């Protein structure tokens, strides 16, 4: 299927690993001019080189933390006028005992998972409106609509992001700017591996991968029978970044192998 985005400028904020990287690759495959950002430079630059070589397109790496004003300023300066924007972060660490969640932990969660994406959208939406065309896809989390006691630093801030995009997407759709959210469940990514130790601590488990994995699978039933790979999400992200998604507005699409059990 031709996504009809060849030559468009695409910014994947959070594009050096995991689902952001896989989405960047799908956008590269479709022939976009690509910008990818992340905080850690070495992995980011390597990802940009690899994607550029693999797909024969220009890829510009931008070292920028989406959760800070300075980081966002760097993003806006390096990529002033994208047609396509996708935003993600790494999975926040599990919180452990909910009674130990402090205001400082809430602030960090909100800065990273809510203010970062909303500020990036607030900056780029007028640019896209001026062009009369734009696509925005937030890669958030299914815990935004499937509350989990150990995901308090991830779900609540993203529920607010969904609420924000529900309103804003309908405001900007008449201008050709289409916003949707993807809500991934359990995926095997670099980010998921990095928080395994926190998961063990949150549940009082030894730091032994097999014990952590068994505990995780026992408490998280996935009807599909496996946890996802990054490219189980990326094709849907790329589709939502295309003209083909012009009638899909303000939706929250869960990609979780059937784990979240609901009709809507």
Ligand X SMILES: NC(=O)c1ccc[n+]([C@@H]2O[C@H](COP(=O)([O-])OP(=O)(O)OC[C@H]3O[C@@H](n4cnc5c(N)ncnc54)[C@H](OP(=O)(O)O)[C@@H]3O)[C@@H](O)[C@H]2O)c1
- What is the contact surface with ligand X in residues (CB under 6 A)? 13-20, 37-40, 43, 65-67, 88-91, 112, 139-141, 154, 184-187, 189-192
Using the minimum distance from each CB to ligand X, give the nearer residue, 171 or 186: 186
Q: Smallest distance, Å, CB 50 to ligand X?
A: 13
Tokens 């919180």, residue?
95
Q: Smallest distance, Å, CB 43 to ligand X?
A: 6
Beta strands in the chain (DSSP E): 9-13, 33-38, 59-63, 84-87, 134-139, 177-184, 187-188, 228-229, 252-255
Reference 158, options 148, 173, 172, 143; nearest CA is: 143
Strands 9-13 and 84-87: parallel
Q: Smallest distance, Å, CB 139 to ligand X?
A: 5
Q: Smallest distance, Å, CB 195 to ligand X?
A: 8
Using the minimum distance from each CB to ligand X, give the nearer residue, 60 or 173: 60
Q: What are phi and psi of 233, to 5 degrees?
A: -110, -35
Using the minimum distance from each CB to ligand X, give the nearer residue, 116 or 250: 116
Q: What are phi and psi of 260, to 5 degrees?
A: -80, 120
CA distance linking residue 180 with residue 43, whole number of Å: 28
Q: How far is CA 177 from the centre of its chain?
A: 18
Using the minimum distance from each CB to ligand X, give the nearer residue, 55 or 142: 142
Using the minimum distance from each CB to ligand X, give the nearer residue, 14 or 250: 14
Q: Smallest distance, Å, CB 123 to ligand X?
A: 14
């Amino acid at each position: 299927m031709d996504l009809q985005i060849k030559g468009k400028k695409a910014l994947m904020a959070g594009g050096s690993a995991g689902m952001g990287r896989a989405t960047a690759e799908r956008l590269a495959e479709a022939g976009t001019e690509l910008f990818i950002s992340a905080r850690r430079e070495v992995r980011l630059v390597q990802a940009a080189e690899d994607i550029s070589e693999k797909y024969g397109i220009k890829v510009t790496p931008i070292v920028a933390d989406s959760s800070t004003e300075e980081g966002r300023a760097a993003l806006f300066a390096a990529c002033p006028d994208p047609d396509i924007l996708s935003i993600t972060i790494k999975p926040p660490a599990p919180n452990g005992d909910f009674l130990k969640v402090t205001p400082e932990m809430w602030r960090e969660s909100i800065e990273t998972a809510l203010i970062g994406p909303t500020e990036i959208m607030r900056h780029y939406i007028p640019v896209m409106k001026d062009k009369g065309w734009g696509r925005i896809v937030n890669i958030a989390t299914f815990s935004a609509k499937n509350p989990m006691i150990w995901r308090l630093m991830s779900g609540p801030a993203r529920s607010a992001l969904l609420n924000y995009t529900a309103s804003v997407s309908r405001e900007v759709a008449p201008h050709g700017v289409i916003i949707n959210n993807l809500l991934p469940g359990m995926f095997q990514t670099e980010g998921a591996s990095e928080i395994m130790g926190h998961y063990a601590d949150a549940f009082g488990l030894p730091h032994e991968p097999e014990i952590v994995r068994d505990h995780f699978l026992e408490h998280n039933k996935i009807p599909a029978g496996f946890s996802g790979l990054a490219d189980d999400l990326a094709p849907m992200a790329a589709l939502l970044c295309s003209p083909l998604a012009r009638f899909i507005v303000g939706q929250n699409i869960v990609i979780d192998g059937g784990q979240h059990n609901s009709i809507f």
